[in-house]
């Protein structure tokens, strides 16, 4: 199915990692649609990521906090969107352990403000980007167990609790107001433009700078890795063909131990594994995430297309070739964050 020039889509949080990849994906696939990107530009939002789009008259960037009801309503009034996809969030577990409040504000209140605006301006189609972390975690010794959409919500961190709350609100808006809502819960994304506080880009950037590679605990925790482009394709399909009122899991079929990823990055960059240091574990550290995405596959015909070997190679090459993107990002405020998070841990 194709969207044409009369469609307007609001992509919140589009100056962040997945939102920006989604905007690039949309622009390429649907050259005529209008894309509007409200983003607060927190530490995680980066104008240089979206800068190449600023000359495009079918793209508009607005610096806006999704909790700002007046500003959000004004934007809806001006743009009359057909679809809203909400990527805007505080997204890092470690920061949520340190300071939960902003997570509740943005991830819960902000989502409800957006959905109120959707109700107010013509029952606009709303898609909430959620996470597999809302299901809590799985044991390391039960590879047969996977998260399905029926797995009870059991979040562990302030981050995942705030995301679970937003999911519940989205479903409540569907049931109570008939708002056409879908929710997707994806596993750990990786790819270009990811802020280097998350495992993969942090390890690549540190290795490139010959800095130590801080692995929490033994590094035996398992994540399922999803290449960001595969995620974008899944969201597109859900917007086109998904059933409203439904939740869809999105996974990469790639379970990896953290330590194995870090070793792989060392090898790819020709760095010694002696850079690896085992640091104090994360509080309440989720052991394993693993996704059953058979609902999305059987209903909408989606499957991940990028195998991890290819995806991680692309990602490493991107960081090698885009120092000008991440060097400014890791100066200043990020350095203070890094000292605070890792200085006391070793
Ligand atoms: P990110 O931290 O890279 O980007 C978040 C973006 O949201 C930034 O541009 C930031 O400026 C913006 N933002 C934050 N608060 C805002 C506010 N109040 N108003 C407007 N904009 C605001 O995050 P990401 O990794 O791209 O994640 C995007 C979404 O995907 C999030 O909802 C996250 O929970 C979800 N998710 C991410 C992953 C992952 O592996 N990265 C996995 C599962 C789910
Ligand atoms: P992260 O990228 O923060 O994603 P999430 O916690 O949402 O899964 O972390 C991925 C895994 O890597 C998680 O088990 C924590 C671990 N980790 C480290 O070992 N060291 C680090 O410096 C970071 C940021 C994460």
Which distant-in-sequence residues (6+ apart) come within 8 Å of 307 by Cβ?
254
pLDDT in tens, the chain (346 residues): 577 778 999 999 999 999 999 999 999 999 999 999 999 999 999 999 999 999 999 999 999 999 999 999 999 999 999 999 999 999 999 999 999 999 999 999 999 999 999 999 999 999 999 999 999 999 999 999 999 999 999 999 999 999 999 999 999 999 999 999 999 999 999 999 999 999 999 999 999 999 999 999 999 999 999 999 999 999 999 999 999 999 999 999 999 999 999 999 999 999 999 999 999 999 999 999 999 999 999 999 999 999 999 999 999 999 999 999 999 999 878 888 888 889 877 6
Instruction: Give dist(CA 8, CA 36) in Å, integer.
Output: 7
Instruction: Give dist(CA 222, CA 91) in Å, integer.
Output: 19
From 39, 65, 90, 132, the catalytic residue: 132
- Check if the beta carbon of residue 221 is closer than 8 Å to that of residue 285: yes
Is the CB–ligand 1 distance for residue 45 below 6 Å?
yes
- Check if the beta carbon of residue 145 is closer than 8 Å to that of residue 296: no
Which distant-in-sequence residues (6+ apart) come within 8 Å of 107 by Cβ?
89, 90, 159, 162, 163, 165, 166
Reply yes or no on whether 79 is catalytic.
no
* Angle value at C-alpha 187, between 26 and 98, nearest 5 degrees: 105
Residues 113-125: pLDDT tens digits? 999 999 999 999 9
Residues 295-315: pLDDT tens digits? 999 999 999 999 999 999 999
Helix (H) or strand (E) holding 185: strand 181-186
Query: What's the full length of the chain, in residues?
Result: 346
3-state secondary structure at position 307? coil
Instruction: Name the residue among 74, 154, 85, 159 with its Cα closest to residue 120.
Output: 74
Residues 256-268: pLDDT tens digits? 999 999 999 999 9
Pocket test for ligand 2, best of 223, 278, 281, 286 (most atoms within 8 A of CB): 223
When the candidates are 3.30.460.10, 3.40.50.720, 3.20.20.70, 3.90.550.10, the CATH number that belongs to 8-193+226-254+287-306 is 3.40.50.720
Pocket test for ligand 1, best of 13, 117, 126 (most atoms within 8 A of CB): 13
Point out the ligand nearest to the CA of residue 284: 2
CB atoms closer than 10 angstroms to residue 80: 11
Instruction: Give dist(CA 196, CA 329) in Å, integer.
Output: 8
Instruction: Give dist(CA 195, CA 199) in Å, integer.
Output: 10
From 39, 65, 90, 133, the catalytic residue: 133
Instruction: Give dist(CA 188, CA 226) in Å, integer.
Output: 6
Domain edges within the chain: 8-193+226-254+287-306
Point out the ligand nearest to the CA of residue 167: 1
């Amino acid at each position: 199915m194709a969207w044409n020039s009369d469609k307007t889509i609001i992509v919140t949080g589009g100056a962040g990692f997945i939102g920006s990849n989604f905007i690039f994906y949309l622009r390429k696939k649907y050259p005529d649609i209008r894309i509007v990107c409200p983003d607060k530009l927190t530490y995680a939002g980066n104008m240089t990521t979206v800068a190449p789009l600023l000359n495009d008259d079918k793209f508009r960037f607005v610096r806006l906090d999704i909790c700002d009801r007046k500003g959000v309503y004004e934007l809806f009034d001006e743009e009359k969107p057909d679809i809203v996809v909400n990527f805007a969030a505080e997204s890092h577990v470690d920061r949520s352990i340190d300071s939960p409040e902003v997570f509740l504000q943005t991830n819960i209140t902000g989502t409800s403000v957006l959905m109120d605006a959707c109700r107010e301006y013509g029952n606009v189609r709303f898609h909430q980007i959620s996470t597999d972390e809302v299901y809590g975690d799985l044991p390391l010794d039960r590879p047969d167990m996977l998260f399905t959409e029926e797995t009870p919500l059991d979040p562990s961190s302030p981050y995942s609790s705030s995301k679970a709350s937003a999911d519940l609100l989205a479903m409540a808006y569907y049931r109570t107001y008939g708002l056409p809502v879908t929710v997707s819960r994806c596993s750990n994304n990786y790819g270009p433009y990811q802020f280097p506080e998350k495992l993969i880009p942090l390890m690549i950037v540190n290795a490139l700078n010959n800095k130590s590679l801080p692995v929490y605990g033994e590094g035996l925790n398992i994540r399922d890795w999803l290449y960001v482009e595969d995620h974008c394709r899944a969201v597109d399909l859900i917007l086109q063909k998904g059933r409203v009122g439904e939740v869809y899991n999105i996974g990469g079929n790639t379970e990896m131990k953290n330590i194995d990823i870090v070793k792989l990055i060392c090898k790819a960059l020709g760095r010694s594994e002696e850079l690896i240091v085992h640091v104090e574990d994360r509080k309440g550290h989720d052991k394993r995430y693993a996704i059953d995405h058979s609902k999305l596959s059987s209903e909408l015909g989606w499957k991940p297309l990028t195998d991890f070997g290819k995806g991680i190679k692309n990602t490493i090459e991107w960081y090698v070739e885009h120092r000008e993107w991440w060097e400014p990002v890791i100066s200043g405020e990020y350095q203070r964050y890094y000292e605070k998070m890792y200085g006391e841990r070793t």
